[in-house]
Amino acid sequence: MAKELWDTLFGVYGNESNLSRIFEIKKSLNSLQQEGKGFKEHYGEFKGLWAELDMLRPPTIDIKEMIERREQDQVFGLLLTLEESYRGLIHHILRFEKLPTLNQVCMMIQKEEGSRGLFKGTSEMAHVSQAKEVGVVAEKKNLWCDHCRMKGHAKDKCWTLYPHMRPKNLKGTGQTSRGATSAASDDVVRKSDLDALIKSITKLSESGKGLFACRNHKSVIVDSGASHHMISDKRLLSNVDPHCGKVMIANGQDVEIRGIGNLEVFKKKLKALYLPDFSSNLLYVHKATKDLDCVAVFSPDDVKFQDTKSGKTNGEGCSKGGLYVLDVLDSKQPIVNKAALSSFWHERLGHPHSKALQLALLDQKAQDHQDCEACILGKHCRVVFPESTTSYGECFDLVHSDVWTAPCLTRDQYKYFVSFIDEKSKYTWVTLMPSKSHVLDAFSNFYNYVLTQFGAKIKILRSDNGGEYMSRAFKELLEKHGIVHQTSCAYTPQQNGVAEHKNRHLMEVSRAMLFDRNVPKQYWGDAVMTSCYLINRLPTVHLGRVSPYEKLKGIN
């Protein structure tokens, strides 16, 4: 009993975003009717829904939150107007941790609508569509709940999940009785269904019908009386450039030209006029045979376009209603061949590597998808930064600097350290700081130290764009001493790689010493200072097997 109560509470309030419940409340408010109940009971139900909505979406004065809620209300309003057949898509949208924007939802609905038209016109897929339609009709006549496995209501009206929706005047607990087994969710794709779909697609591809051959494009009429290729369906054109003008059609009317685009016929591009107000798509046969270097052979049943040199048939159309009709998307080969089928599953399965795709499609030949634009954009990484070839003649001509933040305070309440690295000798100086605002004092002291001890002046300082380096006081100090400040580009730490790598080296040595002697983390400051001292006195191949100390002091 306690478990059932917990399951009920988790079903109602378990979702962190509560999008599904908010949507159901708004749906209930829109469909709420008195239906013979007393006003007090009706008003109590009305107030209960609003109280729950206020709990899920408490009042706020945050402008950003208010704008986001307004966007959510627009999405909810759109979803409430959709047909019952979109229930699976609605459930999918409401599962998101953050509700998509209205534009994103519109795109998802359009894709869903397009995918439904995808399988129309093919006899093998017609059975699936018919079965779905029968299922919808049966569901309306005899609703079934997947949660409690009882008839007479849907899952979104189940009182077990939503106790407040139970009618007050109803007695008995018939609805809450459960079956021995739990039903799967409506929108779960079973492996058997996926295997059947793959086999159907493969069968269509091998038979030459081709998946997606039935697109919602209009047919092109082969016309000998036209003066241009005239297309009213923009989906048949690519690279449409705006163009102004008019063309006279057969009935004497002038139709406005909106653009000129490329019409693909037999894998070749033909220039065609885009006339959205025109009622047909016309292919001017004279211009087509000239551009395609072919001849058109007309017969009572069809028209064939044959190459003038080889005599090979490039494509053909059929006779319908006294007109010769050509499907520009079709040719001698099916639209979806083996390569296209491989590309289809490459996209559907998340753009996997061709070897992984081959393991999934055992009976298919997986193609190499190196030219997949989505893979190139989504999987590419930054090119390796080249090593600098610039050399500096004297020490302190260039100094690198960076700040490191510690996970805890030292015994002396230090939280940060700033490093200064000489480009010529690779010698490193480290200063511990309680806050980043002390970088200015640290650099000022370092500048005076270099001037006094080495009789040299810092010419260039290279750092990132941290606020401690970009303050007005810091800039004034650099200008006072004539120091050039070089900063790395945003989100490009590689340009300050010397300081970044040096800080990493310091921390690696420090952590190793702390772990070796089981020293608490609070002593990281002492470990860093010790690491800096040791690194400065260890030979390195970058300096010709001498130490930074020897390089700085000029010791041979």
Helical residues (DSSP H) of 142-284, grouped into ranges: 191-206
Tracing tokens 């306690």 back to the chain, one arrives at: 2
Active site residue 223: yes
SS (H, E, C) 310-373: CCCEEEEEEEECCEEEECCCCCCCCCCCHHHHHHHHHHHCCCCCHHHHHHHCCCCCCCCCCCCH
Distance of CA 191 to the CA centre of its chain: 26
Farthest CA pair distance, the chain: 103
Residue tagged active-site, from 156, 223, 422, 464: 223
Query: 361-379 burial, b for 16+ CB within 10 Å, e for fewer?
Result: beebebbebeebeebeeee
CA nearest 513: which of 530, 497, 499? 530
Enter the tokens of residue 441: 């004092």
SS (H, E, C) 25-71: HHHHHHHCCCCCCCHHHHHHHHHHHHHHHHHHCCCCCCHHHHHHHHH
Query: 343-358 burial, b for 16+ CB within 10 Å, e for fewer?
Result: bebbeeeeebeeeebe
Using DSSP bridges, classify how beta strands 416-422 and 398-405 pair: parallel, antiparallel or unpaired.
antiparallel
Distance of CA 390 to the CA centre of its chain: 41
CA nearest 242: which of 261, 227, 217? 261
The catalytic residue positions are 223
